[in-house]
């Protein structure tokens, strides 16, 4: 009999790849999606769908009792919200409720894996050093603070075996975030926010999925930072993409004050339309941070996590997918 895993955020970018990896490891998959979620891209998978009620602990407990998962991978969350309270409710409270229900339900849960973010720790202020698991957290956005809160609340749940994964910037097929930058490159434009030197880090989504499945069988109760093990200058993402796509672009640097004005306008529009702003003043703290370099030695030694993709290899596969699916 196959072991069963519940994967939340299943209709999302990372969720898709975690489902794929779980099935390849002979796990039976329950995919938690919202009623409003588009799931056409998941129909070819042999999975079962469920809509979880994160706000009602008794209902959630019964749903888990009926489902009886051996494992839970909690990848659901929001990266853009209208307020800090909204970030905290979805990213932290939902995490706490799901974990609490899992310990109270009539199930034998072996592992709860939380897909957090490196944003929970925050970037370094200088080009010197790397972000390790033992640094003092200093998130610079409401999103990062909500992820840190989720981690802190998860640790208070009694009798729960958990693993926290903190991936840096994730990219890959189906991503709509970094994709926006690639779209600009195909239009001949290569924009940058300021000209300050940066150390940036990335991780291919398939490596994140492999780490998530590995974590199911890791009996350490701990957190791991994830990246591809390298750091890159602010220009390397574009350089590798241009090489793969045979593009020529006009490179230009937008003044920081101009970008801040755009962010303020975006915040005002968000307030008037009651929709979450994609770019805001806080988000600039992440995008323009000096150093996101990651120490992944703990994930290597304890989890056996060895990334299969560096940025060049991952981008080649990603851009090929975008073109094959008419995204570019």
Domain boundaries, the chain: 4-175+201-232+291-309
262: tokens are: 């755009």
Does residue 241 surpass a pLDDT of 90?
Answer: yes
The Cα 238–Cα 182 span in angstroms is: 8
pLDDT band at 160 (very low <50, low <70, confident <90, very high): very high
Tokens representing 212 are: 């998530």
* Averaged pLDDT score across all residues of the chain: 94
**Cα(221)–Cα(161) distance, integer angstroms:** 6
**Tokens of residue 215, six digits:** 């974590």
Does residue 80 have a pLDDT over 90? no
Band (81; pLDDT cuts 50, 70, 90): confident
Contact at 8 Å (CB) between 212 and 113?
Answer: yes
> Is residue 284's pLDDT more than 90?
no
**Residue of 285 and 141 predicted with greater confidence:** 141
What's residue 272's pLDDT?
73
CB 111 within 8 A of CB 71: yes
- pLDDT value, residue 303: 97
pLDDT of residue 36: 85
Considering only residues 254 and 90, tell me which one the structure prediction assigns the higher pLDDT.
90
Give the count of beta carbons closer than 10 Å to the beta carbon of residue 212: 27
Per-residue pLDDT band at 258 (split at 50, 70, 90): confident
Give me the percent of the chain exceeding a pLDDT of 70.
98
276 pLDDT more than 80: no
- Whether 174 and 325 have beta carbons less than 8 Å apart is answered as no
Across residues 110-122, what is the average pLDDT?
Answer: 98
The number of beta carbons lying within 10 Å of the beta carbon of residue 47 is 18
Report the percentage of the chain scoring pLDDT > 90: 85
Q: What one-character DSSP code corresponds to residue 136?
A: P
Q: What is the dihedral of CA 31, 36, 42, 43, to 10 degrees?
A: 110
C-alpha span between 306 and 101 (Å, rounded): 33
What is the DSSP code string of 47-59?
A: -EEE---TT-HHH
Write the CB contacts of 88 (distance below 8 Å, at least 6 apart in sequence). 145, 146, 149
Judged against a pLDDT cut of 90, whether residue 279 lies above it is answered with: no
User: Which of the two residues, 277 and 209, has the higher pLDDT score?
Assistant: 209
What pLDDT, on the 0 to 100 scale, is given for residue 23? 98
In this structure, the chain runs to a length of 328
What are the pLDDT digits (tens) for 299-308? 999 999 999 9
Instruction: Look at residue 280 in the predicted model and tell me its pLDDT.
Output: 74
Sequence-ordered alpha helix ranges (H) in the chain: 13-24, 57-67, 84-87, 94-104, 142-154, 179-186, 205-216, 236-245, 256-273, 281-287, 297-298, 311-324
pLDDT at position 256 over 90: no
What is 4-175+201-232+291-309's CATH topology? Rossmann fold (3.40.50)
Q: For 120-129, 233-242, 283-292, 309-318, which range has the lowest pLDDT when averaged over its residues?
A: 283-292
Alpha-carbon distance 105 to 117, whole Å?
Answer: 27
pLDDT above 90 for 295: yes
Dump the DSSP string for 141-158: SHHHHHHHHHHHHHTTST
Q: Is the pLDDT of residue 257 over 90?
A: no
CA distance 240 to 78: 29
pLDDT for residue 259: 81
Question: Which pLDDT belongs to residue 209?
Answer: 98
Q: What CA dihedral angle connects 98, 104, 106 and 107, to 10 degrees?
A: 50
Virtual CA dihedral for 214, 220, 222, 228, nearest 10 degrees? -30
Instruction: State residue 262's pLDDT score.
Output: 79
For position 269, what pLDDT does the model report? Answer: 74
Inform me whether the pLDDT recorded for 230 exceeds 80.
Answer: yes
Query: Phi and psi of 70, rounded to 5°?
Result: -80, -25
The answer on pLDDT for 249 being more than 80 is: yes
Section 199-225 average pLDDT: 97
Give the pLDDT confidence score for residue 35 in this predicted structure.
86
């Amino acid at each position: 009999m196959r072991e069963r895993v519940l994967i939340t955020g299943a209709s999302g970018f990372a969720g898709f790849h975690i489902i794929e990896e779980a099935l390849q490891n002979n796990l039976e998959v329950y995919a938690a999606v919202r009623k409003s979620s588009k799931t056409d891209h998941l129909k070819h998978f042999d999975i079962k769908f469920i809509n979880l009620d994160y706000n009602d602990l008794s209902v959630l407990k019964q749903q888990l009792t009926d489902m009886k998962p051996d494992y839970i991978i909690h990848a659901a969350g929001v990266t853009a919200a209208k307020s800090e309270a909204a970030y905290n409710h979805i990213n932290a409270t939902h995490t706490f409720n799901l974990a609490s229900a899992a310990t109270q339900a009539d199930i034998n849960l072996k592992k709860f894996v939380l897909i957090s973010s490196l944003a929970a720790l925050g970037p370094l202020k200088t080009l010197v050093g790397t972000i390790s698991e033992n640094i003092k957290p200093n998130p610079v956005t409401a999103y990062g603070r909500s992820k840190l809160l989720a981690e802190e609340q998860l640790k208070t749940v009694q009798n729960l075996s958990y693993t926290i994964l903190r991936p840096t910037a994730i990219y890959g097929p189906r991503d709509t975030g970094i994709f926006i930058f690639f779209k600009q490159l195909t239009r001949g434009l290569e924009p940058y926010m300021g000209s300050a030197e940066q150390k940036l880090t990335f991780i291919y989504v398939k490596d994140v999925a492999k780490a998530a499945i590995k974590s199911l069988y890791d009996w350490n109760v701990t957190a791991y930072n994830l990246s591809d093990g390298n750091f890159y200058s602010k220009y390397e993402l574009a350089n590798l993409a241009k090489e793969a796509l045979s593009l020529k672009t006009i490179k230009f640097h937008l003044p920081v004050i101009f970008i801040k004005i755009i962010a303020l306008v975006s915040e005002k529009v968000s307030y008037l339309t009651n929709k979450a702003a994609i770019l805001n003043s806080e988000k600039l703290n992440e995008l323009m941070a000096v150093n996101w370099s990651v120490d992944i030695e703990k994930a290597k030694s304890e989890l056996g996590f060895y990334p299969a993709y560096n940025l060049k290899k991952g981008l080649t596969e990603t851009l090929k997918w975008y073109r094959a699916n008419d995204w570019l």
